[in-house]
Amino acid sequence: MTIRVPFYVVDVFASQPLSGSPLPLLPDADDLDQAQLAAIAREFSQPETTFLLRPSLPGATVRIRSFTPAGAEVGGAGHNALGAWVWLEAAGRIAPGGTLAQEIGGLVLPVEVIRPPGQPAVIWMDQSPPRFGATAGDRPALAAALGLAGPDLAAGEPAQVVSTGAAHLMVPARDRAAVDRAAPDPARLRALLHQAGGEGCYLYSRDPAAADAVAYARFFNPTMGIAEDPATGSAAGPLAARLAAAGQIPRAATVVIEQGHALGRPSRIQVDISGPRIRVGGSGLVVAEGTLTLA
């Protein structure tokens, strides 16, 4: 029996096609088992591939599962989840406004879909309250793992693990040029991340290209098989929480974080912070569709 499964590709945190973070998306994936989900993610070989399923927890509108090319399941609400809501709205499966929620990583988190007149839908997703973890004290080793020299890291600011659903190591760089020069050694960076208790590494500077942004970043995640991701909402939320805790941005603000320039896919990630409440927001476009033949 031939099994055909429809798929879509969404450019997330993007205002035009071929920018932002490309997300393969498979709706109505309830009949696929976990081995198939992981194999399909390997087939697409994008940073993450997302599957939509019927919810299993009360109050959820949809259940979202996402996998990396290495077959690892991702629990944080970032571009993997925001792209799902972009598709759901574009496909007419939800209406803007009302109460929406996503089941992801064993949690049910609120989602808001706003459709400004004549504009693409804007998605706002709650993340978990921030948790601040360990610092990475060996600056020379961290710089070397990132392919940088010690002075390329910001003086007097330690790298720290922060989580709003996924624990990532926030690494402040001296400037945007240092962020662009980074060429990580995956094995060395993976070892440092394991030691610090972090999943991925968010290297950032405070001199973004756009005047309305607060940081310029790149994301590396060798622990999950992601060389580099052009837009990472699950890391942008923790970064905003860290900047607010350090007094570098207000504790109640909506800010923009730039990412993806080094990959030629510039992305703008919005983060709304209000005390412990962190929301990540942005838009996207459905840019492709097709059918997978699985048997």
* Spatial distance between the Cα atoms of 85 and 64, rounded to a whole number of angstroms: 10
4-124+283-293: which CATH architecture? Answer: Roll (3.10)
CATH code 3.10.310.10 for 131-275: yes
User: What's the confidence (pLDDT) of residue 76?
Assistant: 85
pLDDT at position 116 is: 87
What is the reported pLDDT for 24? 98
Query: Active-site residue among 48, 89, 103, 199?
Result: 48
Residues whose CB falls within 8 Å of the CB of residue 93, separated by 6 or more in sequence, listed in order: none
Q: Is the dihedral of CA 91, 95, 97, 99 positive or negative?
A: negative
End-to-end CA distance of the chain: 7
CA distances from 239 to 149, 168, 187 (A): 22, 9, 24
Numbered ranges of CATH 3.10.310.10 in the chain:
4-124+283-293, 131-275
Each of the 295 residues of the chain gets a pLDDT tens digit; together they read 778 999 999 999 998 999 999 999 999 999 999 999 999 999 999 999 999 999 999 999 999 999 999 999 998 889 999 999 999 999 999 977 777 999 999 999 999 999 888 888 999 999 999 999 999 989 999 999 999 999 999 999 999 999 999 999 999 999 999 999 999 999 999 999 999 999 999 999 999 999 999 999 999 999 999 999 999 999 999 999 999 999 999 999 999 999 999 999 999 999 999 999 999 999 999 999 999 998 8
Q: Which of 168, 152, 148 is nearest to 160 (CA)?
A: 168
Please say if 73 is a catalytic residue. Answer: no
State the angle between helix axes of 79-90 and 233-245 in degrees (0 to 180), rounded to the nearest 10: 120
